[in-house]
Structure 1
Amino acid sequence: MTDVVRVERPTEHVATVWLDRPDAMNAYNEALLTGLVAELESLDDDDSVRAVVLTGAGEAFCAGVDLTDMPLTPEMDFADYEHGLGLFQDVVRTIRSLSVPVVAAVNGYALGAGCDTALACDFRMVSTEATMGETFIDVGFVPGDGGAYLLPRLVGEERAKELIFTGKKLSGEELVEWGLARSCEPAGDLREAAESFAAALTEQPPIALAQSKRLVNESHEVDLETAFDHATRAQRICSQTRDHEEAVAAFREDREPEFEGR
């Protein structure tokens, strides 16, 4: 745990990760970027963690980049600029590569890089006070940390272009209507609802869940025959787990299975 990232364990198998710079609306600086990646990687190595909820302390999820403490500037040479932007990309890359599902509980502003962080999560649940926007165009930028890749996969190409080209912001129920969130919750109920949904996911067999996440994440990049090959390998892995044996036994014995992640 760092000064800018806080982790709580509301249930045995759920970890809630807080972006914890509320005075800066959880805007990204280098410490928050690197601290978040380190915490997520640590949780992924913890076999007791089967789902992660990502949220923001205070009134924002993440308002983008901290303009007073940026890890990159136009004056940098290309290698340094590439490294600085890579810190933002590492957040998206890490979330996408985690073996456990990640639920974004978007409690307020999720703008620019903060929006892309939410898009990288497997699910988004938003509060009535949430606002998301690809606001890079407002400062003459492009989505540099995954937005142009992730957004079309969620809402389609035309809607993605509208949001990216105009910087349009969506709030509350609009986010559900546009397909960017699975639900909109009253502000005071959001975290509990996200943790409850995450807890339900932890009841599934972890290895099968991880393999399923990998297959879905790569589905836009591989052809059907490659997808078949990867699914066959994943199914073979799952078929040799204790959890598969437990699922079959529970079905035969007419009881709920108890999965162990092995």
Structure 2
Amino acid sequence: MLNDSIVLYEVNNSVATITLNRPQVKNALNTEMHHALFDALEKAKNDKSVSVIVLQGTDGAFCAGADLKSLDIDEIGSFDYGNYLRETYNPLILQLASIEKPTVSYLNGIAVGAGLSIALACDYRVASEDAKLGLGFLKIGLAPDAGASYFLPRLVGLGKAMELALGEVISAKEALQIHLITKIGQPDDFIEQLKHVPKKAFGLTKRNLCQGFEHSLAEVLEMEVSAQRKAGQTPEHKAAIERFVKKK
């Protein structure tokens, strides 16, 4: 894509890097960016040459959330936030959850509101030293959305999620301590590690771990039976076993 596109897309060495590119508003999301981001993720999802998907922002910011300034203040009273969510954030979050390749959000700066929600929907989060993370919904009289209500308590626990919902902005160090992010620093080494994860087994692992919250132990055990049956037939598994036997 051209550098003046609101979402940049690049594939290099099996890594698709998707960059939010509205630096003038700290990469806040408007309707146009939603559609562009959805299309970029869909492209990376279906590209067989892509092993890892990285989502980041430009100019020292990940994403400042929804672009509230793009709304018409005279229409706020009649604006239906529910319909807007169904048309924009909900499809985007469901799409991220359905991707069976590793997804990494690189929080290279501020990540607040729905911007943080999108990061939570990724499999992993890597933050720069100066990153600032927070949910500011209550401060403007709204409830967390874009999947935050689902992902946040699963990552940090209900008590801490209720605290973060109050809107406090936290540092990368604090986010790491509560397991909100995976690591601090540049994501390159971690991405390199993810490139070598068996694709089929990873997709099955992600599906089972996410769905395990809503199923009984007996159901999860059967899910593991199905997943292991599929993973056991992959070339990656057979090659790994051969390497292990030869090494032994």
TM norm. shorter chain > 0.5: yes
Counterpart Cα distance in 2 of 1:172 and 1:242 = 39
Counterpart Cα distance in 2 of 1:203 and 1:112 = 32
Q: Are residue 132 (structure 1) and residue 125 (structure 2) matched?
A: no
CA separation of 1:42/1:251 partners in 2, compared to 1, >3 Å: closer, same or farther?
Answer: same
Task: Tell me the equivalent position of 2:28.
Answer: 27
Q: CA deviation at 1:73?
A: 4.9
* Equivalent runs, 1:90-239 vs 2, <5 Å: 90-164=91-165, 166-185=166-185, 190=186, 194-239=187-232
Counterpart Cα distance in 2 of 1:99 and 1:173 = 29
SS in 2 for 1:65: coil
SS in 2 for 1:220: helix
Counterpart Cα distance in 2 of 1:173 and 1:107 = 14
Give the counterpart letter for 2:182 in structure 1: R
> After the TM superposition, which parts of structure 1 deviate over 3 Å for at least 4 consecutive aligned residues?
70-74
Q: Percent identity?
A: 34
> Over residues 97-126 of structure 1, what are the superposed CA-to-partner deviations in whole Å (9 max), with x where a residue is unaligned?
111111111011111100101111111111
> Over residues 60-98 of structure 1, what are the superposed CA-to-partner deviations in whole Å (9 max), with x where a residue is unaligned?
10001111224995414x5xx433112112222211111
Q: Residue 62 of structure 2 contacts residue 107 of structure 2 at CA under 8 Å; is this kept in 1?
A: yes
* Equivalent runs, 1:55-66 vs 2, <5 Å: 55-66=56-67
Q: CA deviation at 1:209?
A: 0.9
Aligned-CA RMSD value: 1.9
Counterpart Cα distance in 1 of 2:189 and 2:76 = 41
Stretches of structure 1 lacking an aligned partner (at least 5 in a row): 256-262
Counterpart Cα distance in 2 of 1:250 and 1:195 = 26
Give the counterpart letter for 1:239 in structure 2: G
SS in 2 for 1:135: coil
Which of 7, 10, 20 aligns to 1:8? It is: 10
SS in 1 for 2:213: coil
Stretches of structure 2 lacking an aligned partner (at least 5 in a row): none
Counterpart Cα distance in 2 of 1:122 and 1:14 = 15
Give the counterpart letter for 2:98 in structure 1: S
Counterpart Cα distance in 2 of 1:138 and 1:23 = 23
Q: In terms of mean alpha carbon deviation, does 197-206 or 63-72 score higher?
A: 63-72
Give the counterpart letter for 1:236 in structure 2: R
Relative to the length of structure 2, the TM-score reads 0.92
Q: Residue 27 of structure 1 contacts residue 66 of structure 1 at CA under 8 Å; is this kept in 2?
A: yes
Q: Residue 14 of structure 1 contacts residue 195 of structure 1 at CA under 8 Å; is this kept in 2?
A: no
CA separation of 1:74/1:232 partners in 2, compared to 1, >3 Å: closer, same or farther?
Answer: farther
Q: In terms of mean alpha carbon deviation, does 172-181 or 105-114 score higher?
A: 172-181
Q: CA deviation at 1:41?
A: 1.2
Relative to the length of structure 1, the TM-score reads 0.87
Q: Are residue 75 (structure 1) and residue 78 (structure 2) matched?
A: yes
Q: In terms of mean alpha carbon deviation, does 239-248 or 129-138 score higher?
A: 239-248
CA separation of 1:74/1:88 partners in 2, compared to 1, >3 Å: closer, same or farther?
Answer: farther
Q: Residue 13 of structure 1 contacts residue 199 of structure 1 at CA under 8 Å; is this kept in 2?
A: no
